[in-house]
Chains A and B, each alone.
Chain A
């Protein structure tokens, strides 16, 4: 079956569902009006409105989901519920009635139902008429009910005219199926007029989101600094102290016991080498030098070479990203690859980096055991937070048995490409 046919049939089904759902709008509106009228009644009134609002929101949320499936994403516009609110309480009542989205929902119920029913009927009727032309009409005419007409022929009298119904029916059916998704889309666009957040609500949602991601970012940064302090304290600093001890002891022993002093100095030299290695690791963890020198693509390629699992890097970035974005993107990929190495038991992994239409898309795939869960580990959650600071997103697909696909997206611009590496400035 051709994809457009399948899409069309699905949309016809959705049209039928839309008619059914539209019919529920009327009782919802009646309930809401009753609840609003009863507000002056002590105790009862204030409790009823939040309840009916919950029902209305269940309905509008469903409508938003349906619109999203038709290709028109509609964001939930509601204020977050107040803290310490009890059912039937003043806070909850105020929360509901001061939210403009509550009133916009109510305003949508009747026009939404009308548009839903009209478009639903069209979605349904056209393909059905086509189907009728294709099957029933010729049969009826053949049976001798000469009064019946179809398409261009009214009424159908001859066998030739009867046969003409078939191609006409097929064309109408095709047109109905082809147009059904578009009709669904029109319905969804109408829903969006009233069910999507207003500009003010949009900004409020954005502020909420920014507050959360900012707090996450600050947390992550503080944790990162603590980690660096710990690493320095337990690593390089301790090693330098021990180095000093060895040299000091060797200095004391050099006359009394030259052999022991030599041994200590050899140990000291080794220890200074280890200190440097540790320092390099730490620096790489803060900001890898290769990232500064070669950008995201080069750094990911360098990282891929250093990991024990073979990794194919497929990248096509024609310029550099802004430094903070570049760093976030790099660590997101690095963290994902660390997860691959640690948990997936993969034999191969693939990284793809693409920048299309002001979006950087990074996909990490592995052929490992699958079953990764972003709720379980802190690693994937950390990546999500890193990306969220730049309005980026992460999607995880990891069925048991694999493969695991992590798709990360970051909205960002590429700076002008550097044609050749310049030795004068590097």
Chain B
């Protein structure tokens, strides 16, 4: 799978490259600044991009801006944004770009290599990968969630992070069938349209949480 990396810190760029290569990703380009990212994405048309939020020259949210610009330019381009801190505000901005796989994770998560690789693949496949920290902050401020049971809220959180029904089932030690029952209940309680497409459903949940 072809991937482009944008990370200014040499150590982290190197670490990311090594991890992705160890899992048979093809790192076609790794750039170290915001302005270099867009041309690299346009030239290489990777199947997924892994982008740091803070990049030179401004050292502000250059990477995030470049990612949003790239998604507007190349609709459906899957991008996984990494950062040393997460802000629901940034998640909202990312999610408001045209559809396609999107992820937003703390850099810490990379150290759990298996899950990180899983998240990259999920985003590449058009799914999502939201950091638990973002989800926690989002869930904390939504009033109507009080109507959900504890279990349903757990399922909602896992779902918002971007996991498949099967993965949620394994994580929470319940059957996949039980998971879809919970999800249906959640969608009903939150007054959201039922959908068969899992990715679209997750994005709908995120959009709801972000509204």
Chain B positions within 8 Å of A238 at CB level: 9, 11-12, 84
Chain A interface SS verdict (over half): helix
How many Å lie between the Cα of A93 and that of B15 in the bound state?
Answer: 70
- On whether the beta carbons of A249 and B54 are closer than 8 Å, the reply is no
Contact with A along B27-70 (1 / 0, CB 8 A): 00000000000000000000000000010000100000000000
A252-B22 contact, Cβ under 8 Å, with A230-B59, A241-B108:
yes
Whether B198 is near chain A, meaning CB under 8 Å from some CB there, is no
Interface size grouping (class) on chain A:
10 to 19
Q: How long is the Cα–Cα vector from A158 to B102 in the complex, in angstroms?
A: 119
Whether A249 pairs with B22 at a CB distance below 8 angstroms is yes
Within 8 A of A (CB), among B63-101: 84
| Majority secondary structure of chain B interface residues (helix, strand, loop or mixed) | helix
B78 smallest CB distance to A (angstroms)? 21
- Contacting pair B113 A248 (CB below 8 A): yes
CB distance from A240 to the nearest CB of B (A): 8
A296 to B191, CA, bound (A): 67
Quote the shortest CB–CB distance from A262 to chain B (angstroms). Answer: 15
A353 at the interface (CB under 8 A from B): no
Choose one: B54, B59, B111, B114; the contact of A245 (CB below 8 Å).
B111
Expressed in whole angstroms, the Cα–Cα distance for A247 and B15 within the complex equals 10
Q: Do A239 and B54 form a contact, CB below 8 Å, given A252-B22, A252-B113, A253-B22?
A: no
Q: Which residue of B lies closest to A247 (CB)?
A: B111
With A233-B54, A251-B113, A252-B113 known as contacts, the answer to whether A242 contacts B12 (CB < 8 A) is: yes
A237 within 8 A of partner (CB): yes
Q: Report the number of A-B residue pairs with Cβ-Cβ less than 8 Å.
A: 53
Partner of B15, one of A234, A237, A245, A252: A245
A244 is an interface residue with CB less than 8 A from chain B: yes
* Most chain B C-beta atoms within 10 Å of own C-beta, residue among A234, A245, A248, A251: A245
Cβ-based interface call for A117 (8 A):
no
Chain A neighbourhood of B59, CB < 8 A:
230
A246 interfacial by beta-carbon distance below 8 Å: yes
- Whole-angstrom distance between the alpha carbons of A234 and B54 in the complex? 10
Residues on B with C-beta less than 8 A from A246 are: 15
Tell me, yes or no, whether B107 is within 8 Å of chain A by CB.
yes
Q: Which residues of A contact B16 (CB under 8 A)?
A: 245
Please state if A248 and B11 are interface contacts (CB–CB under 8 Å): no
Whether, in the assembled complex, B110 has its beta carbon less than 8 Å from a beta carbon of chain A, the answer is yes
What's the nearest-Cβ distance from chain B to residue A42, in Å? 56
A233 touching B84 in the complex, CB below 8 Å, given contacts A241-B110, A247-B111, A248-B111: yes
Contact B9 A234 (CB under 8 A): yes
When each residue 95-125 of chain B gets 1 if its CB lies under 8 Å from chain A and 0 otherwise, what string results? 0000000000001101111101000000000
Instruction: Tell me the minimal C-beta distance from A227 to chain B in angstroms.
Output: 12
Residues of B within 8 A of A249 (CB): 15, 18-19, 22, 113
Partner of B107, one of A234, A241, A247: A241
B15 to chain A minimum Cβ distance, whole angstroms, is: 4
- Cβ of B202 to closest chain A Cβ, rounded Å: 25
On whether the beta carbons of A244 and B11 are closer than 8 Å, the reply is: no
Nearest CB of A to B80, in Å: 15
Could you write out 12 A-B pairs with CB less than 8 Å apart?
A230-B59, A233-B54, A233-B84, A234-B9, A238-B12, A241-B15, A242-B14, A245-B113, A247-B111, A248-B19, A248-B111, A251-B113
Chain B interfacial positions (CB closer than 8 Å to A)? 9, 11-12, 14-16, 18-19, 22, 54, 59, 84, 107-108, 110-114, 116
Besides A242-B12, A246-B15, 4 more A-B contacts (Cβ < 8 Å) are: A234-B9, A242-B9, A245-B15, A245-B16
